[in-house]
Each structure stands twice: as C-alpha cells, then as structure tokens.
Structure 1
C-alpha cells in the first residue's frame, strides 16, 4: 500500500470534513485534526488560509495529486477559454483515474490510481497505465477482460454509497464507461463544497 493510500483519512481530518463522503471516515467520529494539536481551537482563517485550504481539499480529493502536477492543471485552466475554475474541474474530471472512480470500477480514487498503474484499464481498446491520462468525451474506457472478476471490482460495482454521474454512460455488464461531456462543477457529485475559484485565486497571487 502506498503512503498516500494509507494517509487518505488524514486528509479528511486535516480538512475537518469527510471529503469523499465515505462511511468509514474518522471525521464521522472526530471532527478535529490529526496529531497532538488537532483539538486546539482554530482561529478565523485569512484570505490566504481560505484559498490554501480550498486548494488542499481539491488536490486531496483527486488522490492527493503532486503540487507540480496540480499547478499544471491551473496553468492549463487559465489558458483555456471560459471560466478558469470550471476549466480546472473539467481537467481533473478527465483524469483516467477519476473516470475509473466515477464509473464505480473501484471503491476509492486512490484505488483507481493503483488500478490504472497496474494496467487493468484500456482506452479505446489500448492499454493505458498513466493515471493522469486525460480522457476526451466519446473515449471508451473499459476494464481489461482478465481483471473484470477481481474482488475489488465486483464489490465496488455493488456499492450503494455513491451513484454514477449522468455525464457518463456506464455498462457494468461489459465493464465499459464513456464520458459524454465535460461537466460543470455544479454537476460533479462532491460530498463537500469545492471552491475551484479560490484555487485559481491562490495561484494567481
């Protein structure tokens, strides 16, 4: 198990929110942060602190992406036409590991990254093992035939704790998924409020 995978619930506690909406999250029992100073009363956050928290929350949600990679999404988002916050969410949702997670082929976004890295996923019939690969609307994502009976996959498909968003066409009998369009932030089924515009402001300073 990777360090990031083991630390996923630490992200929840640091944020003080159950960011994936999972029943196992420790925030459901303890809403304070991790470590010996976690229960200290927190003061009001500055504008910088608010923006930083929004960035850490969004970055953590997509599997604690590296800072270097996350900054690249910001740079690409401001280059594109339209609202930069919307563009950033669109880019993050196009990540192959995010698509695998949304399609319910695996239970967590951390498991999705590992699943892709281990070569269990094909895009348009070709094996892709890069979690950050950007899927385009119309691309067909499928679980490799030899991997369809994995316990993780079968259990995840049966999970009732989340639904597949309507900007995907998913066939769990064939283990295929297709992104029909790039979603707006309001359409993405986040368990907590995400504020991409604060993330844009953070990097624009």
Structure 2
C-alpha cells in the first residue's frame, strides 16, 4: 500500500482550498500556504503550473493514489471513446474506496482505503481488500456483518457535511450500496472546482 509522506492538511493549505470540504480543514482559519513564506504574494502562474495544480487537486482528493496509479488511470481514460476528462473522473469514481466513501460508510477517503484493505467490505457477496478494485454498474457493495456496528461506520452515516450522490443507491439500515451508473464530472459532488481537462493537458504535453 502506498503511504502519504506528508500531512494531508498541508495539501489543503498548499492549494489554498478545503479539498474535502471538512470542517477541520486548516484553510478555514488560514487561507495561505504552510511555512514562513506561505503568506508571500504569488506571481503569475504559467500554463504548466495551472495544469500541475489541477492534477495535484484531483489526485490528492482521492487519497493515497500514487503517481504511477494515477498515470495508469489517465492512460485508460485516453484509450476510451469520448471525452478523456469525463472518462478520467468516471474511472476514479469507480474505485471501490471512492464508492465506499461516497456511500458514507466511512468519514474520509483515507479511512475508506483502510476500511477496504482491512477486509470490512464485500462486493456481490465476496470480500474484496483492494481499494483500487474497479466497481461495475449494478455491483452491490456491503459492509461485513461484524463491521456494521463499528463506531466509525455509525458516525459516518450520520455526517451532515456531505450527501450521497444519486449514482449510488444506499440503504444505511442494511449497510449496502448499489453502483447505479458511472458518473460524469457534473454528477460528482466535489467540494472544490475540479478541472480534469487540465489534467489531460498536463499528461499529454
């Protein structure tokens, strides 16, 4: 499993945005970057810098995805017919850890990765421990019976800071979720503005 080397809150401050829309984000108090030079006025950003920032935001949002994994997802998106940026978002949202997070079985995307890795999730009745597992339309995702009463799970289902998107059909009484369809960019409830088209431009340079 890839491990994040730096604090996830530093990503928020470096980008100057509350990436996950969480009330504990330091950006809510300090809208500038970390370190002694964080408050310096920023100069004009180049096209490359704008594209890099878009990539950092999208990649950072999904947690511990490595650069190698992210580039592989981009490569798959460009192989598909249609808009590559829409395909990129669709592939990211099909990841099992993303679906578990969207279904509000866990409070954060980082917890989702760990929750899947530790064997708490079943897909179509079979235990899956790979966070990057690609969920198909119609798949049934459920929390294992012995994990349904975990404090973290109960807390997550009651979170008011985000809603379950309409491309996932959730039953929080049974702790099951059905992946109804692959979403497009407009369907995904990102707390900040994402620009996957710039990510495509970044990698296609």
How does the TM-score come out when normalised to structure 1?
0.97
Tell me: CA distance 1:127–1:85, structure 2 relative to 1, closer, same or farther (3 Å): same
Gaps of 5+ in 2: none
DSSP-derived class of the 2:4 partner = helix
Deviation at 1:64, TM superposition (A): 3.7
Deviation at 1:3, TM superposition (A): 5.6
Q: In structure 2, how many angstroms separate the alpha carbons of the residues matched to 1:10 and 1:142?
A: 33
Deviation at 1:4, TM superposition (A): 2.8
Deviation >2 Å, runs of 4+: 2-6
Q: Which residue of 2 aligns with 1:173?
A: 173
Query: Would you say 1:29 and 2:34 are equivalent positions?
Result: no
Q: Contact (CA 8 Å) 1:89, 1:196: kept in 2 or not?
A: yes
Tell me: CA distance 1:6–1:170, structure 2 relative to 1, closer, same or farther (3 Å): farther
Which residues of 2 match residues 18-167 of structure 1 at below 5 A? 18-167=18-167
- Residues paired across the two proteins, number: 204
Q: In structure 2, how many angstroms separate the alpha carbons of the residues matched to 1:183 and 1:197?
A: 16
Q: Which residue of 2 aligns with 1:12?
A: 12
Q: Contact (CA 8 Å) 2:3, 2:64: kept in 1 or not?
A: no
Q: Contact (CA 8 Å) 1:143, 1:176: kept in 2 or not?
A: yes
DSSP-derived class of the 1:177 partner = strand
Q: In structure 1, how many angstroms separate the alpha carbons of the residues matched to 2:3 and 2:130?
A: 19
Q: Which residue of 1 aligns with 2:190?
A: 190
Q: In structure 1, how many angstroms separate the alpha carbons of the residues matched to 2:43 and 2:135?
A: 41
Gaps of 5+ in 1: none
Deviation at 1:10, TM superposition (A): 1.1
How does the TM-score come out when normalised to structure 2?
0.97
Please, what is the CA RMSD of the aligned residues? 1.2
